């Protein structure tokens, strides 16, 4: 797992991209197609056509960081291919990055208050 900046927005590009693209090409794509500022600290997640690879782009304050991951078996769980961008929670992103179906995980909204036994 990679460490994400605290409070970072996580944006998932739903349309597959050409995986020959490097950090600067993905940053330009994010600005043009996703209307996202790649230098804002947002975590930008891109998928391959086969859905078995992911590229993550983030500005860390001193430069662009590009993380590339390929699953050995199976494929990442992706939303339907449509134009646009989808915002993920840190918990959903962690599940996606680990190859788990991110649509089935939820962050706890708060700690439940125990009831007093009667």
Q: Residue 38 in contact with residue 64, Cβ under 8 Å?
A: yes
Per residue in 24-47, pLDDT (tens digit) is: 999 999 999 888 999 998 999 999
Backbone conformation region of residue 62, classed left if phi is above 0, alpha if psi is from -120 to 50, else beta: alpha
Residue 109 has pLDDT above 70, yes or no: no
pLDDT computed for residue 108 by the predictor: 58
- When pLDDT is averaged across residues 53-66 and rounded to a whole number, the result is 93
pLDDT computed for residue 118 by the predictor: 63
Residue 54 has pLDDT above 80, yes or no: yes
| Domain range annotation of the chain | 10-104
pLDDT computed for residue 110 by the predictor: 67
């Amino acid at each position: 797992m990679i460490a994400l900046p605290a409070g970072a927005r996580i944006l998932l590009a739903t349309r597959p991209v050409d995986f020959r693209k490097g950090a600067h090409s993905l940053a330009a794509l994010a600005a043009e197609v996703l209307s996202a500022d790649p230098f804002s600290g947002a975590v930008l997640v891109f998928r391959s056509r086969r859905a078995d690879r992911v590229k993550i782009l983030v500005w860390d304050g001193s430069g662009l960081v590009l993380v590339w991951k390929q699953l050995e078996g199976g494929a990442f769980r992706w939303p339907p291919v449509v134009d646009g961008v989808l915002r993920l929670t840190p918990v959903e992103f962690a599940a996606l990055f680990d190859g788990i179906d991110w649509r089935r995980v939820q962050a706890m909204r708060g700690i439940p208050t125990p009831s007093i036994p009667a």
